[in-house]
Chains A and B, each alone.
Chain A
């Protein structure tokens, strides 16, 4: 009963957070370009920052031990990498006012992908018996379907960019396609009723992030992207979903009084 109330409250807060981010960005866009840039950049401090804090809490709870502990330490690696990348982007964009691509931020964004991929593998490991080869094939095909046009678009960028920039632009869709595979599997398991919604939030967040990345690529290509573009809302929503996914795990595996455990051992004696 208590757990159900907590779950529905978590869902309410999730919806509220998503609406708040949408509302703030919408207002900022109405006010003007400068306010939009400033507001969006500043939103990238607390939103990914919250994810770092929550992921450290859950990793500490598992004390880095056991299968779950190893998975969460990988997640901390991902959260810290992307948080660092966002802060570097912010400094380039707000302080130096230069184009943050390519920059050190890309190194941290890309460093986050292996962490996220390994985490999702660990995360889905307990479900491996429920994942059929057919599902894996369909999901891989879906990832390829996204990858091919994205690679085509990325390689078709203007000829002014050098080989390094082109390589960087090509790595993102490839990394996105790779992490999309476990994420889609996680969501399929949710629709099949194998796991609950809060368990699958992290997978939904990955998918949203891939969608946002593809949108970013398209808008960058046609020159319509600016900091605070509605595409940024998707990135921020992905962080919110990640945070609530982690928070739901903190709720599930909350600390209990040690009395029950000692009683359990006494029972054996």
Chain B
């Protein structure tokens, strides 16, 4: 049996949503974001759950001020889970 905590579920949800949103734009976009996260912060997409500011900064680097639309898309996909505290925090930081 797996012992999964609420935090791990949130992390998985956030990771899958980010990956799905970026894949929707194209695989090279997901690859580039993954690469820049690692190059700039030595972190991976699942770490964005704790550090949404890293993802925000990478998206801003790639798309300038219009990264907002990607953030909107991530928010839309995570909307139904927004009541979970850690997801709420993630959404709050990323949309600031």
Which residues of A line the B interface, CB within 8 A? 61-63, 65-69, 125-130, 189, 193-196, 199, 252-256, 260-261, 263-264, 267-268
B-side interface residues, number (CB < 8 Å): 28
Task: Please report whether the interface of chain A is mostly helix, strand, loop or mixed according to DSSP.
Answer: helix
| Of A126, A252, A260, the contact of B70 (CB 8 Å cutoff) | A126
Which residues of B line the A interface, CB within 8 A? 11-12, 15, 23-29, 31-32, 34-35, 38, 44-47, 62-66, 68-70, 72
Question: What's the Cα separation between A210 and B2 when bound, in Å?
Answer: 62
Question: Do A130 and B44 have beta carbons less than 8 Å apart?
Answer: no
Residues of B within 8 Å of A254, CB to CB, are 32
Residues of B within 8 Å of A63, CB to CB, are 27
Question: Do A69 and B26 have beta carbons less than 8 Å apart?
Answer: yes
Question: What's the Cα separation between A189 and B65 when bound, in Å?
Answer: 10
| Of B23, B25, B64, the contact of A199 (CB 8 Å cutoff) | B64
| Of B11, B26, B63, B66, the contact of A66 (CB 8 Å cutoff) | B26
Residues of B within 8 Å of A126, CB to CB, are 25, 63, 66, 69-70
- Give the tally of cross-chain contacts (CB within 8 A): 82
Apart from A199-B64, A268-B11, list 8 A-B contacts with CB within 8 A: A65-B27, A67-B26, A193-B64, A195-B64, A195-B65, A255-B28, A264-B46, A267-B47
Tell me which of B64, B65, B69 has the highest count of chain A C-beta atoms within 10 A of its own C-beta: B64
Tell me how far the C-beta of B84 lies from the nearest C-beta in chain A, rounded to whole angstroms: 17
Tell me how far the C-beta of A177 lies from the nearest C-beta in chain B, rounded to whole angstroms: 25
Tell me how far the C-beta of B89 lies from the nearest C-beta in chain A, rounded to whole angstroms: 19
Tell me how far the C-beta of B52 lies from the nearest C-beta in chain A, rounded to whole angstroms: 16
Question: Do A67 and B44 have beta carbons less than 8 Å apart?
Answer: no
Residues of B within 8 Å of A129, CB to CB, are 66, 68-69, 72
| Of A62, A130, A253, the contact of B65 (CB 8 Å cutoff) | A130
Closest 3 CB pairs of A and B: A66-B26, A264-B44, A253-B28
Chain B residue at smallest Cβ distance from A259: B38
Question: Do B28 and A61 have beta carbons less than 8 Å apart?
Answer: yes
Residues of A within 8 Å of B65, CB to CB, are 130, 193-195
15 residue pairs from A and B, CB less than 8 Å apart: A63-B27, A65-B27, A66-B24, A66-B25, A67-B25, A67-B26, A126-B66, A129-B66, A129-B68, A193-B64, A255-B31, A260-B38, A261-B31, A268-B12, A268-B15
